[in-house]
């Protein structure tokens, strides 16, 4: 790519950066938690349509994806699970095609009194934008969109087809990205600006979600006996799960990408609900668990061991022995994925193009990182043979209070993305 | 009391017993959980009005009772907290006055799938009536009402004033009974047919309810570290509370009434709620605790020790040390009460009258029992110098699934209550 084009693209990003921050702020103000993504998706579709992208907006149909590899079981209806894709079809087809992917769903804000400002009333201060989802990952959606805008501002369009995806369900199943695959969207590479500090993600973990349901015979507390309490019966099961977590993290179990991390696989008790009356011995308790697995680790084998651990612990418990826990899977059945294991020339080329773009913008070498979370990258990499580059801005407190994203970092990512597009797809005159 | 009057009263109970069971069934079909007592209270008021009792029906006003001994703190409004009293004023005043007390509120049913039949669609089978609240304590309300009906069927009325109380809030605060006291209702004795197997309750425990609120800084589970989880931070606190429970039950701490019980004081973790997303490390958790105290044990001292135990355990915990738990009191601040410690001639007389009535009906000696729960008896006994006789039918699985009450037991209690009224209050021609 010519040096002057790089400069023009970067200048175009700078010129529109104030509008980009305003866009991010507006997008973050849509409280697009699971089941409430429609207003944010409407906003995205309008913004894409204004820019004359062809719009594909559809509701996920479980029947169309549930047989596919990578599908995760879900509880509840998908009435509000709507994906949006904006399509650029290249006139010249002189370059490679690209998927620019981001997720619109955000995790719950938690108790509002723990936020300094309301989570869905974004604030800009000291170079950060604060708000739930600002980092994870609406800044990435903004970066994808305004990188394309930078090309347009230079009178250019990508010289290959580009699919701008705004998907739901990343935070619980990935079924939004899977539905895009099922609808036929593939390309020569995918870029996902998840907030990992301007590093290239070379490996990500798999994730399994499960619920443990405990039931028993309740009674008036006046007649309570030790161990008859469904809430407290959960404690030894949780203890046994942590022992399993410890075993899975043992050094001999770690693949190369995670050799240096002594605790990459985190087991999280994310939710618990039990009982309904202070003076009744609780007859039921449900807790929700997230457990990570390494790339290459089998989901089925992991599930079998999880079930064994829970049932063994339950059989050791007087209360649970006669009323064994029920294990319900809903949410992530996500395999791990390692871009670093993709030995194709296409993957090497995509990484090389991103290396150059990153270095051009930031002046430093693109760092690699194996992350302890999952992303939608797995769908492209594992099930569609596409290199999936996860590369996005720096953010803090994602899934926490006062989540924030570094705006100068978003600016650099936007510039690097514009350069990546122009290089990977080549350009054509509008 | 003449033998023929006893027989006539018992026959009158028998004659109306089918109607009494139908009444109990209809009353049990009103799902009078806390905040939903109005329809059941409406039914009670109608039944009392039909019988020409003077009706007093009023909404509890916190301002009128919160300064009184025995008041328990409440969360939320009292818009639906309505008491009903039906009043009989004796023409002759030849006997003693009496309060017949029962509570209309029932505890939640819990998961419906654990009931053989819907909890608020009462069923009669094999001599039992099944349904939430049938035993605790709508059978007692039925017993009080139909005992008075038995007198009426014999052309008689009590020869002293009788106050038929249907109160709310017994299951969480006792503020319904307290509001009756505050409104001026006192008498020479009170009878409360709580379901304790036709025994006379000679002592009851006090009960304290409290909530423990835990908060911390959440994060994406990818960055979780041991101990940063608000749900799991609850476990050592609960453990410390059980150690306190163990100390409080030590033999040297037990008063005479509970000397023989090695675990009269039960600590119950009745509810827990924490977290809102499986892949977010939970930043908050709230659990609800019920702890019992002995008669004579100070509520203030008990609360001080509870707080000390929780805060000491929290200071031992890396996560909680910098964000100490908040302890919120809502619900029971109930002192223990022992009828057996009432040395008045009035109490001795009331017990003697009940002894006779019980023996006449059942042919066996009235057994005494120190119970491990609380009842509204404490208000009459501790704060109004009235002997409060807790004496009601046999029930099973109160606060549990498939709660049921023994109908023949209710029949005997109704007869004994009729005899007690006729003896204690004497009678007058209608």
CATH number assigned to the domain comprising residue A219? 3.30.70.360
User: pLDDT at position A227, please?
Assistant: 47
Confidence grade of residue A353 (pLDDT, cut at 50, 70, 90)? very high
DSSP A293: E
Residues B77 and B148 in one domain: yes
What is the pLDDT averaged over residues A266-270? 95
Contact B219 A281 (CB under 8 A): no
Q: Which of A215, A263, A278 to mutate to test the interface with B (most CBs of B within 10 A)?
A: A278
Question: Of B396, B395, B391, nearest to B415 (Cα)?
Answer: B391
pLDDT value at A33 more than 60: yes
Chain A's closest residue to B220, CA to CA, is: A399
pLDDT value at A224 more than 70: no
pLDDT value at B64 more than 90: yes
- Among B280, B306, B334, the domain boundary falls at B334
User: Which residues contact residue B134 at a Cβ distance below 8 angstroms, ignoring those fewer than 6 apart?
Assistant: B24, B28, B122, B395, B403, B404, B405
Q: Which of B270, B283, B289 to mutate to test the interface with A (most CBs of A within 10 A)?
A: B270
Closest-CA distance, B131 to chain A, in angstroms, reads 14
Chain B positions in Cβ-Cβ contact with residue A279 (cut-off 8 Å): 107, 171-172, 207, 209, 268, 270, 290, 332, 399
User: pLDDT at position B219, please?
Assistant: 64
Report yes or no: B332 and B74 within 8 Å, Cβ to Cβ.
Answer: no
Report yes or no: B280 and A107 within 8 Å, Cβ to Cβ.
Answer: yes
pLDDT value at B227 more than 50: no
Residues A194 and A211 in one domain: no
Question: Of A426, A403, A401, nearest to A110 (Cα)?
Answer: A401
Residues A139 and A106 in one domain: yes
Residues A192 and A287 in one domain: no
Question: Of A13, A418, A346, A31, nearest to A189 (Cα)?
Answer: A346
The partner residues of B106 in beta bridges, in order of sequence, read B33
**How many residues does the structure list for chain B?**
430
Quick one: how far is CA A364 from the chain centroid? 26
Residues B279 and B195 in one domain: no
Q: DSSP letter string over A226-252?
A: TT--HHHHHHHHHHHHHHHHHHHTSGG
- Of the listed ranges A125-129, B109-113, B422-426, the least confidently predicted one is B109-113
* Euclidean distance between CA atoms B25 and A416, whole angstroms: 74
Quick one: how far is CA A119 from the chain centroid? 19
Residues A302 and A397 in one domain: no
Q: Which of B113, B224, B241, B277 to mutate to test the interface with A (most CBs of A within 10 A)?
A: B277
Question: Of A226, A89, A188, A293, nearest to B265 (Cα)?
Answer: A226
Contact A282 B269 (CB under 8 A): yes
Report CA dihedral (B20, B22, B24, B29) to the nearest 10 degrees. -170
Residues B366 and B277 in one domain: no
Report yes or no: B70 and B383 within 8 Å, Cβ to Cβ.
Answer: yes
CA distances from A424 to A6, A194, B27 (A): 13, 20, 75
Is B288 in a helix, a strand, or coil? Answer: strand
User: pLDDT at position B111, please?
Assistant: 87
pLDDT value at A223 more than 70: no
The partner residues of A56 in beta bridges, in order of sequence, read A85
Confidence grade of residue A222 (pLDDT, cut at 50, 70, 90)? low
- Helix, strand, coil fractions of chain A, as percent rounded to 5: 40, 20, 40
What is the pLDDT averaged over residues A338-347? 97
**How many residues does the structure list for chain A?**
430
Report yes or no: A228 and A310 within 8 Å, Cβ to Cβ.
Answer: no
- Among B334, B366, B386, the domain boundary falls at B334
Give the range of the structural domain holding residue A321, as residue numbers without chain letter: 206-334
* Span A48-75, pLDDT tens digits: 999 999 999 999 999 999 999 999 998 7
Chain B positions in Cβ-Cβ contact with residue A223 (cut-off 8 Å): 372
User: pLDDT at position A225, please?
Assistant: 61
* Span A79-130, pLDDT tens digits: 889 999 999 999 999 999 999 999 999 999 988 988 999 999 999 999 999 9
User: pLDDT at position A2, please?
Assistant: 85
Residues B87 and B128 in one domain: yes
- Report residue A323 as tokens: 């009323």
User: Which residues contact residue A291 at a Cβ distance below 8 angstroms, ignoring those fewer than 6 apart?
Assistant: A207, A208, A210, A241, A245, A265, A266, A267, A268, A302, A306
- Helix, strand, coil fractions of chain B, as percent rounded to 5: 40, 20, 40
Q: Which among A171, A209, A282 has the least Cβ separation from residue B271?
A: A282
User: pLDDT at position A36, please?
Assistant: 94
Report yes or no: B225 and A264 within 8 Å, Cβ to Cβ.
Answer: no
* Span B273-329, pLDDT tens digits: 999 999 988 989 999 999 999 999 999 999 999 999 999 999 998 778 888 999 999
Complex-level ipTM:
0.91
Place of tokens 């507006």: A26
Place of tokens 């980092």: A135
Report CA dihedral (B252, B256, B261, B267) to the nearest 10 degrees. -70
Is A137 in a helix, a strand, or coil? Answer: helix
Chain B positions in Cβ-Cβ contact with residue A231 (cut-off 8 Å): 269, 271-272, 287
* Euclidean distance between CA atoms B247 and B225, whole angstroms: 34
Chain A positions in Cβ-Cβ contact with residue B111 (cut-off 8 Å): 215, 283-284
* Euclidean distance between CA atoms B298 and B217, whole angstroms: 37
Task: Give the torsion sign (CA, B380, B381, B384, B389).
Answer: positive
> Is the bond preceding A137 in cis, omega lying within 30 degrees of 0?
yes
Looking at the structure of chain A, the number of domains it has is: 2
Residues A222 and A189 in one domain: no
Closest-CA distance, A208 to chain B, in angstroms, reads 10
Axis crossing angle, helix A38-50 with helix A139-153, rounded to the nearest 10 = 10
User: pLDDT at position A386, please?
Assistant: 97
Residues A200 and A227 in one domain: no
Residue A291 phi/psi, 5° resolution?
Answer: -130, 140
Residues A74 and A142 in one domain: yes
CA distances from A306 to A174, A208, A249, A411 (A): 22, 10, 14, 43
Mean pLDDT, chain A, whole residue set: 95
- Among A305, A334, A363, the domain boundary falls at A334
User: pLDDT at position B224, please?
Assistant: 64
Q: Is A114 exposed, middle or buried (0-12, 13-18, 19+ CB in 10 A)?
A: middle
* Euclidean distance between CA atoms B130 and B430, whole angstroms: 36
pLDDT value at B265 more than 50: yes
Chain B's closest residue to A331, CA to CA, is: B278
**Distant-in-sequence contacts of B152-156, Cβ < 8 A, 24+ apart:** B152/B51, B152/B430, B153/B12, B153/B15, B153/B16, B154/B5, B154/B8, B154/B9, B154/B12, B155/B429, B155/B430, B156/B422, B156/B427, B156/B428, B156/B429, B156/B430
Is A55 in a helix, a strand, or coil? Answer: strand
* Euclidean distance between CA atoms A135 and B141, whole angstroms: 60
Question: Of B286, B314, B298, B311, nearest to B248 (Cα)?
Answer: B298
Residue A278 phi/psi, 5° resolution?
Answer: -60, -35
Q: Which among B268, B273, B278 has the least Cβ separation from residue A290?
A: B278
User: pLDDT at position A220, please?
Assistant: 66
Where residue B55 sits, what CATH number does that domain have? 3.40.630.10
Report yes or no: B394 and B195 within 8 Å, Cβ to Cβ.
Answer: yes
Chains A, B: CB contacts under 8 A, how many? 203
Residues A348 and A409 in one domain: yes
Place of tokens 């509520």: B299
- Report residue A398 as tokens: 């994602």
Is A57 in a helix, a strand, or coil? Answer: strand
Highest mean pLDDT among A62-76, A171-185, B212-226: A171-185
Chain A positions in Cβ-Cβ contact with residue B110 (cut-off 8 Å): 218, 276, 280, 283-284
* Euclidean distance between CA atoms A24 and A130, whole angstroms: 10
DSSP B214: E
Report yes or no: B159 and B92 within 8 Å, Cβ to Cβ.
Answer: yes
- Report residue B174 as tokens: 């006792």
pTM over 0.90: yes
Q: Which among A107, A205, A275 has the least Cβ separation from residue B277?
A: A107
């Amino acid at each position: 790519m010519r040096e002057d084009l790089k400069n023009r693209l970067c200048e175009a990003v700078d010129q529109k950066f104030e509008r980009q921050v305003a866009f991010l702020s507006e997008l973050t103000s849509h409280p697009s938690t699971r089941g409430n993504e429609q207003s944010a998706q409407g906003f995205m579709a309008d913004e894409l349509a204004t820019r004359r992208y062809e719009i594909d907006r559809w509701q996920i149909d479980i029947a169309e994806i549930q047989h596919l590899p990578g599908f995760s079981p879900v509880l509840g209806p998908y009435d509000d699970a709507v994906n949006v894709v904006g399509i650029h079809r290249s006139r010249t087809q002189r370059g490679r095609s690209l998927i620019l992917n981001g997720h619109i769903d955000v995790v719950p804000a938690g108790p509002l009194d723990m936020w300094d400002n309301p989570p869905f009333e974004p604030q800009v201060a000291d170079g950060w934008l604060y708000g739930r989802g600002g980092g994870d990952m609406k800044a990435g959606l903004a970066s994808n969109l305004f990188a394309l805008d930078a090309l347009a501002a230079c009178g250019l369009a990508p010289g290959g087809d580009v699919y701008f995806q705004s998907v739901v369900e990343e935070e619980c199943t990935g079924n939004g990205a899977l539905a895009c695959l099922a609808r036929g969207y593939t390309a020569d590479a995918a870029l996902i600006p998840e907030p990992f500090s301007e590093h290239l993600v070379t490996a990500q973990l798999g994730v399994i979600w499960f619920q443990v349901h405990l039931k028993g015979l309740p009674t008036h507390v006046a007649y309570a006996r030790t161990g008859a309490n469904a809430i407290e019966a959960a404690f030894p099961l949780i203890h046994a799960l942590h022992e399993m977590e410890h075993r899975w993290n043992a050094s001999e179990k770690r693949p190369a990408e995670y050799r240096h991390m002594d605790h990459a696989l985190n087991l999280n008790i994310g939710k618990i609900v039990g009982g309904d009356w202070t003076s009744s011995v609780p007859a039921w308790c449900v807790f929700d668990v997230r457990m990570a697995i390494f790339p290459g680790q089998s989901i089925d084998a992991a599930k079998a061991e999880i079930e064994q651990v829970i049932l063994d612990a339950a059989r050791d418990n007087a209360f649970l022995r006669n009323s064994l826990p029920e294990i319900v899977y809903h949410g992530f059945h996500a395999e791990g994925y390692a871009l670093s294991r993709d030995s194709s020339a296409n993957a090497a080329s995509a990484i090389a193009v991103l290396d150059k773009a990153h270095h051009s913008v930031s002046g430093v070498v693109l760092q690699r990182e194996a992350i302890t979370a999952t992303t939608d990258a797995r769908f492209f990499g594992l099930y569609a043979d596409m290199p999936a580059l996860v590369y996005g801005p720096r953010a803090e407190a994602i899934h926490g209070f006062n989540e924030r994203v570094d705006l100068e970092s978003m600016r650099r990512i936007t510039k690097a993305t514009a350069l990546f597009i122009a290089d990977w797809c080549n350009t054509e005159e509008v």
